[in-house]
Every structure is written in structure tokens, then in C-alpha cells.
A and B are shown apart, each in its own frame.
Chain A
Amino acid sequence: MTQGTNDKPAAPIRRKPLAGAFGKIRIGSETVQLLVLAVILFMFFSIIVEKFLTVRSITSMGFQMPELGVLTLAMMLSIYTGGINLSVNATSNLAAVLAGFFMVRYIPKDAAGAVVTLYLAVAFLIAIAVGWVCGVINGLLIGYVGVPPILATLATMTLYTGISVGLTGGATVTGFPTQLSVIGAQTILGIPIPFLIFVGFTILTYILLDRTSFGFKMRLLGSNPVAAEFSGINNRAIIMGAYMYGGILSAVTGILIMGRTMSAAYEYGATTYVLLTILICVLANVNPGMGRVIDVFIAVVILQILSTGFQMALSGVRGSTFFKDFAWGVLLVLVFIANYFIRGRRAQSS
């Protein structure tokens, strides 16, 4: 059953070494394709949209993309291990709401700047702890109870959103100390702080996936869970770890949203973020046991270029926000077609 075409060695396609700060970094033909796509789109909008190629619009992109970017890393981990996580955005909002409650209720009105900063740190820890707990619940359901990931996270998505609604009564939590806006509105050397946070978590996730035994096991588990178990990998623990880290990343997104909007609510990003993170993972060719963090990063940039580009090009035109969704759809279809010609042909010829 294993004979026939398998005898011929396929052309080496997987990883090309690229010298860098971390030694060899995994890149592949997909990385190059995505990079080319990003550059083409950037040039396209620079030419057709006035003021697209300005410090202001680029900085604004740097403020906008981190939320989606960090959330996509959480989504990536679940797909990488053979699952999916629909509760990423619900987790962000629940973490933000609880951290927001803490800030509103416990920070004294007349507290000094340094004290407020300390309180903010505690609020962030609360958010991360909430994200972690949400991840643990997902991990328990998927890894230990054996609920299919799509059902488990659909359930927890509803649960987490429900808790946020219940706590806030559907209202928006506001009245945060102004120092919080450092996270959402300020720059270091001209680079938006949220973008630096996004880059930081991208590097952390890269190291986790490609440089640790946890990442190695996640990849093999995603590739074939039965063989992983038969190789002595503790599948449950790895799944738990993947969803815990995903919960923490979701909480970080919650903090970023709070920093930008200076508020917290159950509904931020609720209609689009989950689907967008999946879309980016598809664009970056993330599959069970396959996918590169660098590709996800570039795909996030591509989506932001499209989003900002269309917004600026169509500002003032009625229905422009719908056209943005349309553009993302078109992009996805084009990516599938391109993949058919690039990878499909190869698969058929072998």
C-alpha cells in the first residue's frame, strides 16, 4: 500500500536556511510569495491612494494591526495543533472587562502616577490570568474531555461572551486612568508601542514553535495525533499548553484594545476578528503540523495594507466598509487560485 509513487524522492521543498539573529530561520517559498504580495499591494496603494505613503498612515497601520496580529497568533496555535479556537475574541473581551472592573473600582482617584502604574501592572496580570483560565478551560474540554475543538470553543466563546455581558450588563466599561493610553496611543522612536508588543509576541511565538520541545511536539501532534501518542508524546498536556498560551495571547489583545479605546466591552471585534484571524491563517498557509510564524506576521501586514488602503481610497464613499470585506474575500479567492497553480501543479505532476 505504501509503494508506487512513493519510491521517487520528491524535490526538496520544505525549509531553506536563512542566516539571522537566531541562526537558521525557517522560511519557504510561501514566505517569499507573501512578501512579494505585501510589497505589490503596498506599492499599488502608494500609487493610487494619495497620502497612503505617509508617516501618518503608516503609523496608523502600526497602531491598528497589533490587536488582530496577536489574536491571530492565538488562532495559529490552535490550527497548528489540529484544532481551531473560536473563543479567542471572547477571551480578549472577558480579560479586558475584568481588568477594567479592577481599574475602575480599585484605583484611588487621587493616586500618584507611580502608584497608578503599579495598579495598571496588576490589572494586566489580572487580564493575563483570566486569559490563562479561559485557555485552561478550552484545554480541558479539548485535550481531556475529548470535545472536538470547533464545538468546545464555540461553547466557550458563548460562555465567555455571556460572562462579559452579565458582568457589564451589556454596557461599556470606561473611566480608566490616562496612563493606560501609553499602550494604545504612544510611540517609541516613532514606532507605535502596540506594534512593538506585536513584534515581541511574534518573536516569542516563533521561538516557542521552532526552538522548544513544546513547539516540536505541537507540530508532530498536529501532523498525526495517533503517531504522536505512540511516540510517547503526552498529547493532553501539549493541547493544554497550546490553548493556555493562546488564552494569554488573547488576553494581551484585550489589553491592546483597552489601551486603544480606553474602554472594555463584550462586543469589541465580535463580528469580524475571529473570521479575520482564520482568514490570515489560511493566507499564511497554516495547517495542522504546518505553518510559520513569519508567514503569519506578513499575512497580518498584508491584511492591514488592504484594509487601510481601501479605507483611504474609498473614504466618503457610501458602503466603503462593506467593500473592505469584499476585498478580503477577493484576496482569499486569489490566494487559493495562486496556490492551485503553484502547489497544485506540483502535486499533480508527482
Chain B
Amino acid sequence: MAEDLLRAEHISKRFGGVVALDDVSLTIRAGEICCLVGENGSGKSTMIKIISGVYTPDEGDIYINGHHYKRLTPIEAIHEGIQVIYQDFSLFPNLTVAENIAINELLASGKQVVDWKEVEQIAREGLARINASLPLDAVVETLPAADRQLIAIIKALLANARIIIMDEPTTALTQREIQALFNVIRELKQRGLAILFVSHKLNEVMEIADRTVIFRNGKKVLDQGAAGLDIPTMAYYMTGRRLDTSAVTFEKIDETAPPLLRVEGLTLHGGFYDVSFELKAHEVLGVTGLLGSGRTELALSLFGALPADAGRIFIEGKEVVIRSITDAVAHGIGYVPEDRIREGLFLDQPIADNITVTLIERFLRRLGLLDLRTKSAEAERWIRHLEVKTPSGELPVKTLSGGNQQRVVLAKWIARSPKVLILNGPTVGVDVGSKVEIHELIRQLAHQGMGILLISDDIPELMQTCHRILLMRAGRIAREFRREEITEQALNAELVAAATVESR
């Protein structure tokens, strides 16, 4: 039996009237990867902050390496070997790799003059610990997220970490980078470190966990070895609902019908080349591929944000020219972007205005004035229809959680009833409950006759919503699969195979 490094017992924590944690216990063992799973607001983050000394629990005891703490300070937590890697990695973006790795040691040494040889040596030593190779003089903000994460891990190791807590570590990573991260995590486990992997991505948890702990509404609802746990069971514990995805019915497509959208030889230099496909009414067409495979560029071209250099686009059989987003919108194309904060939402503006932005001309009355009553009624209708959880449509959209924000972005396009709706990563950063509802919504929209282009690297998502899936590789459509012809595992293998081809 592995040694218990940390035991948090009967922890409760309240913020004002809100109970964040209610009598929760958590044990972390050496050489074990423990996955902490829960929806937004389930208490995961509060627990992390309690065991790293940021918050003081209202009730409960913490035992670390046999020491008993009623109140744990961040300094004590660090001395006990607890290191948290937050989503933003807490690095200095303007400093180099070597400086970032060495900075803690330099500060601790109290020297007034920087010895650059020493900096370099510390950095090399750190990189060697996880067999990583990074350019020491590269400025950190120019590195991909995966490399920044490695630096954060190295910093934790150099601080003599015994327990590494990773908060949603895969959010910014591609499929391939996630695999690389998992290898590092397994390596750390081999060396006897304890890993607390906090995530709501169940497929990742399935892959990496030795033990899975699930929180829901501030309570621990599950704590057991990973063997024998499957995704539906975890989703059930997480949401408290049975999310039945096996009985999904797919909309029948009239194969003889003319296509809604036809693309011929579409090319954007530096993005994608000679892309041709058809999308029919009622059809959900998946487009997958790694980051950099051209999938996002393809979507942006169809939406007019990055007009294509060559090729033809037909909508309902008629050739159309799409040189701008306004053109695309006029031809009945909608686009739900991947980066919803930057491209999808007006964070400070009311939820209602975020929804009605695409419809605003419809509320024009005499003298070109807006009918505000009809406008807010329309917004309310969509808030109800998509079950956006908010007390009022007049609140700024930034008050909503990720899943609800995404519903607002979806609403603004669905409200226009586009012929073709392009969804780019529609459930990225969205909790499981919302995710299932968004998938259901996609199927509903297909039922109503919309043609949907779904861009995603979430394989279960593709399998649960798409009729056909295009696999892109280095800017070209490499393969096309019908959903019936392929399994999740096979598709995953294809995607990983694409990764190895590209990395060569």
C-alpha cells in the first residue's frame, strides 16, 4: 500500500451563504495519479486552494507527511512539497526559459548579482529531470502552451515537490501535446510523486487516472480506483443525471437531395489546399485534425474572415462569392468561433444584446428607430429556449459560466436561422451537463434542416453528432469516414497517426 502523503479530513468551507465544500475528505498517495473531477462550481478549485494553503477551511483537519495542520499557510504547503500548477502556469512571459526555471532558486539564494552560468546550469538540470529539451534562451511568451507547461512542471520539481497539483492542465493543449504531457505525468508517478490531476474532461481522466474522485455541489460523491469506471458512470456522478448517449438518433439525410453547401477546390495559401466536399440539409459534417491542420482556416474562409485564394463555393446550387463576413452572413452562413471570449462575446454588454446583435435590423421601425420591447422579448425567448441560466437578460454576459456563455453565442446565430452553421469547438471549456445539451441542440438544428459543419478534435463529440467526418492533415482532406464505418478508437488512432506523420 502506497504511503499517504496528504489527508484532508472532513473539510468544510463556506463563502458567505454559499457552501463550497461540505464535509469532504481527500487522500493523496505517493506514486498515484489521482483525478479530481467535477463540474464548474463543484468545489474542486476550493479544495485545491485549501490543500495548498490559500484558503483556510472552516472545519476539518489536514495531515501532510504526518504533520497535523488546522490552518495551513502557502509557505508551509510549499515546505511540505505541495506544488500547484495553475491554468496560466504562473510564469514570467517576458523572461527566457532559463530565467523562468532558475528564478525561484535565484531569489532564495538572496544574491544581488545574477550569475548567468548558474542560471543556465539550474535550467539544464531542471530540463534533464524530465528529459525535456527546450531552447534556454527562448522568451517564454513565444513558446506553445505545452512547453510553458513543461517549464511549470520543472519549476515544481526543482522546488522539491512531492505532490503536484495540476488544475485543468490540458485546456490549452492539442491532442498530441496532451499525450506528451501524460507521458511526463506517468514518469513522475514512477518516481514516487503524487499527482492530483484536476479536470472535467472524462476521456482524459479515463486514460490517466489510478484513482478517481468526483465532487458535485461541494460534496464528494465518488472515490474509487479507476479500474471499472467508465465515462457514462463518471458523467452520472458528475452531473447527477443519466446522460444517455447510446440511444442517440441521427437525422435521416435525403441522399438524393441537392447539397446545401458545395465546396470545390478551395485553397488558402498557407492554410489549406484543394478542399472539396458537400454538405446536405439535415446533415452534421465533422471536420477534425490537429491544430495547424487547416481546419480552423477552412472555417474562417467559408465565413469570409479569411477569404480563400482559389476555389468555388455553392450554396443551394448557386455559386456565391464570399469575400467578407458580411457576405457570408448574407448568404445564410453562421459561425460559432473557437475562442468565444475574443471572437464570440461582448463581455461587458448585456446578454440580450449579445444575442440580438445578428438580428438587430429586424427591430427597426418607422424613422429607423429600434423597437426595444420586441428586441428584449426576442432575447428573452432565446434565453428561455436555450436555458441560459441568468436572473436577467440585462446582466453583462461576463456574469455567466462557460457553458452558459456558449449558449449565448449559439443563440445569436441560431436566432438568424442560417442555412449553414459552422461550429468550431462548440464545447471547449464547457461542463459535461452543458456539453450533452449542446450536442442535443446540434441534432435538433439538423432536424430542422440546417446543415452543420462541426469542427472538433473531441472524438466522442464527433461520434455522437456527426453523420460523416473529414480528417484534415497538413491542409488537405486526408480521409473521409461515415460514422457507421468507424469506431472512436479507430478514429483516435487515425488522428494520432496524423500527428506522427506531421511531426516528422
Q: Which residue numbers of A lie inside 8 Å of B, CB to CB?
A: 1-4, 6-10, 12, 14-15, 23-24, 207, 211-213, 216-217, 219-220, 223-224, 226-234, 289-290
Q: State whether the Cβ of B368 lies closer than 8 Å to any Cβ in chain A.
A: yes
Assembly CA distance A24 to B361 (angstroms):
20
Nearest CB of chain A from residue B407's CB, rounded to whole Å: 13
B321-353: which residues lie under 8 A (CB-CB) from chain A? Answer: 325-326, 328-329, 335, 337, 341-350, 353
Contact B391–A12 (Cβ < 8 Å): yes
Residue B394, interface by CB 8 Å: yes
Query: Would you call A1 and B87 a contact (CB within 8 A)?
Result: yes
Report B-chain residues with C-beta under 8 Å of the C-beta of A220.
346, 349, 353, 357
Task: Point out the residue from A2, A12, A229, A290 that lies within 8 Å of B405, measured CB to CB.
Answer: A2
**A173 to B303, alpha carbons, bound, how many Å?**
54
Q: A212-B369, A213-B361, A216-B370 are in contact. Are A7 and B40 (CB under 8 A)?
A: yes
Contact B344 A223 (CB under 8 A): no
Query: Contacts A7-B40, A12-B394 known; A23 to B353 CB distance under 8 Å?
Result: no
- List residues of chain A with CB within 8 A of the CB of B171: 1
CB-CB < 8 A to A232: which residues of B? 325-326, 328-329, 357-358
Mark contacts of B357-392 with chain A using CB atoms, 8 A cut-off: 1 yes-contact digit, 0 otherwise. 110110110001110100000000000000000111
Residues of B within 8 A of A223 (CB): 346-349
Assuming the contacts A212-B369, A230-B344, A232-B325, asked whether A7 and B41 have C-beta atoms less than 8 A apart, the reply is yes
Most chain B CB within 10 A, of A2, A223, A229, A233, is at A2
Chain B residue contacts of A224, Cβ below 8 A: 342, 345-347
> Nearest-CB distance from B472 to chain A (Å)?
22
Q: How distant is the Cα of A227 from the Cα of B408 in the complex, in angstroms?
A: 13
The answer, yes or no, to whether B276 is at the interface (CB within 8 Å) is: no
> Are the C-beta atoms of B429 and A1 separated by less than 8 Å?
yes
Residues of chain A within 8 A (CB-CB) of B429 are: 1-3
Q: Which residues of A contact B412 (CB under 8 A)?
A: 231
Question: What are 29 of the A-B contact pairs (CB < 8 Å)?
Answer: A1-B87, A1-B171, A1-B341, A2-B341, A2-B401, A2-B402, A2-B429, A3-B401, A3-B429, A6-B401, A10-B399, A15-B394, A211-B369, A211-B370, A213-B363, A213-B368, A216-B353, A217-B360, A223-B348, A224-B345, A224-B346, A224-B347, A226-B342, A226-B343, A228-B346, A231-B357, A232-B328, A289-B346, A289-B349
Number of interface residues of B (CB under 8 A): 49
**Does B357 contact A9, Cβ atoms closer than 8 Å?**
no
Give the docked Cα–Cα distance between A223 and B354 (Å): 11
User: Which of B328, B342, B402 sits near A3, CB closer than 8 Å?
Assistant: B402
- Chain B residues with CB under 8 Å of A7's CB are 40-41, 401
Task: List chain B positions with a Cβ less than 8 A from chain A.
Answer: 18, 40-41, 45, 87, 171, 303, 305, 325-326, 328-329, 335, 337, 341-350, 353, 357-358, 360-361, 363-364, 368-370, 372, 390-392, 394-396, 398-402, 405, 412, 429
**Shortest Cβ distance from B370 into A: residue:** A211
Cβ–Cβ contact B343 & A230, under 8 A: yes
Q: For A2, what are the chain B residues with a Cβ–Cβ distance below 8 Å? A: 341, 401-402, 405, 429
Task: Give A220 to B412 CA distance when docked, in angstroms.
Answer: 14
Residue pair A234, B346 in contact (C-beta under 8 Å): no
A24→B337 CA distance, assembly (Å): 34
Most buried by B among A207, A212, A213: A213
